[in-house]
Amino acid sequence: MPSVTGGVWTCVAVPGATMGDMVDVAGDMARLSPDQLVVNLGTNDASRKLPPEQSAADFERLLDQFASVRCVHLVTVFDFMFTYADGFLTQWSQATNAALAEVAMRRGVEVIDWTAVVFAEQAPPGSPDMLVDTVHPTPAGVDVLVDLYGDALDRGCPGQ
């Protein structure tokens, strides 16, 4: 969950964390009074098949921590996650994305479609793979994510 405070990026990542797991961490970050926030959470919610309405409620609680933030950007979950135990989790990822997008629309949060970005970046012949295992980015995927975050922060909130 990168944020910018005085032009400095701050990032907190907790392996395996769900949206709900990060609410308290978000409170700690909110005390830094960032101007903008990028939220890249929800993958673990979808992969664990948490009810999308629970993820949406947790996203609401997370956003409540950042009431003074001028601009929030949400990176969606990749729609084609796969696990050996459960196969494709498309139903769960799309439901999670829909629930989070509804909150984002209501709360004025910009939505960045990660699935579209992955497909666009992998489309040119010879381009490197973006994801190791349908979830975790490769080094090329990390580069794209960093650029995506930077572009979103440079752009600010649409309509402002």
Q: Is 81 a member of any domain? A: yes
Average pLDDT in the 28-55 region? 94
Q: Is 70 a member of any domain? A: yes
pLDDT at 8 over 90: no
Q: Is 63 a member of any domain? A: yes
In this structure, of 41-45, 115-119, 126-130, the range with the lowest mean pLDDT score is 126-130
Q: Is 160 a member of any domain? A: no
pLDDT computed for residue 9 by the predictor: 64
Mention every residue, 6+ apart, whose C-beta is less than 8 A from residue 149. Answer: 2, 9, 38, 73
pLDDT at 2 over 80: no
Q: Which domain holds residue 18?
A: 3-155
**Residue 135 class from Cβ within 10 Å (0-12 exposed, 13-18 middle, 19+ buried)?**
middle
Q: How confident is the model at residue 49 (pLDDT cuts 50, 70, 90)?
A: very high
Give tens-digit pLDDT for 81-126: 998 889 999 999 999 999 999 999 999 999 999 999 999 998 887 7
pLDDT computed for residue 4 by the predictor: 46
In the chain, the number of structural domains is 1
Q: How far is CA 108 from the centre of its chain?
A: 15
pLDDT at 149 over 50: yes
What is the per-residue DSSP string for 85-127?
A: TTEE-HHHHHHHHHHHHHHHHHHT-EEE-HHHHHHHHH-STTP
Average pLDDT in the 4-27 region? 79
Q: Is 64 a member of any domain? A: yes
Q: Is 55 a member of any domain? A: yes
Q: How confident is the model at residue 69 (pLDDT cuts 50, 70, 90)?
A: very high
Q: Is the pTM of this model over 0.85?
A: yes
Q: How confident is the model at residue 61 (pLDDT cuts 50, 70, 90)?
A: very high
CATH number of the CATH domain containing 60: 3.40.50.1110
Q: What phi-psi label fits residue 134: left (phi over 0), alpha (psi between -120 and 50 degrees) or beta?
A: left
